[in-house]
Amino acid sequence: MGRAIDLFVTYRFVKLLVTPFEKQEAYKLGIIDKDGNRIIIPGSNPPKPTPLEKIKEKNAYTVLHKLVFNIKKLFGKVPGLRTKLGTYAAALFLLKDTFKEDVDPKMWEQEFMKYLRENNIELDNTISEEVELVNGMLPKGLYKLTQDITFDKEDADTPDALEGDEVQTFEDTAPSDTVLGADIFAVVHIPTQSKIFVSAEDVQKIGIEDLGLWHINLMK
């Protein structure tokens, strides 16, 4: 049974990766736009995605769809056929962690690498970390995200943490996992006070000159 589940999820994963957004069922149902972003209710403040009310809508936009679409959106931000593996590390970590009870964790990285090779995407294995790790740990402090990060693996309706949002570590933090050669760290997303997972490529240290008084008080 375990092998059968692995094969089924692998098929779904690859199919979602190779299918353009405009041919996805979620696009046809008006759940996402041509770039894979959730359609927002006009005038909603804060912005809220259109609700998934019908069974076919919920089936067209599950947590698996959300996490794989996030990877597809990252591809859209990388010009040409060369990609840095570290860019996708946090997104793949969420897939591994979400389905760890049902799917062999190694499968996600194996199938992702296979997809890159089959699509002639050149790999850049260098890790361009925006912050300096200390003894392999992410130092205590305030950071800002350098790209959007999906953070709620339980709810497909929850919006992403956005590029430029601030995150914080309250102590030097050891990695939770290593994916595609990049260490993954748990941080607190300040706007929602939710835990999210990032690689060192996904965050940039905020200098003391950028901090307001309330930030300084938080760090004390």
Quote the CA–CA distance of 176 and 159 in Å, as a whole number.
Answer: 23
Q: 173 exposed, middle or buried (CB, 10 Å; 0-12, 13-18, 19+)?
A: middle
In this structure, how many other beta carbons lie within 10 angstroms of the beta carbon of residue 76?
A: 10
Domain 141-219 CATH superfamily: SH3 Domains (2.30.30.40)
Does residue 39 contact residue 50 with C-beta atoms inside 8 Å? yes
Res 60: pLDDT? 93
In this structure, how many other beta carbons lie within 10 angstroms of the beta carbon of residue 195?
A: 12
Provide φ and ψ at 127, rounded to 5°.
Answer: -105, 110
Res 88: pLDDT? 83
- List for the chain the helix, strand, coil content (%; round to 5): 35, 20, 45
Closest listed residue to residue 195, CA positions, set 185, 203, 204, 205:
185
Res 1: pLDDT? 43
Quote the CA–CA distance of 25 and 211 in Å, as a whole number.
Answer: 44
Q: Which ranges of the chain have pLDDT less than 50?
A: 1, 81, 209, 211-214, 216, 219
Location of each CATH 2.30.30.40 domain in the chain = 141-219
Q: What totals of helices (H) and strands (E) does the chain contain, helices first?
A: 7, 8
Res 143: pLDDT? 94
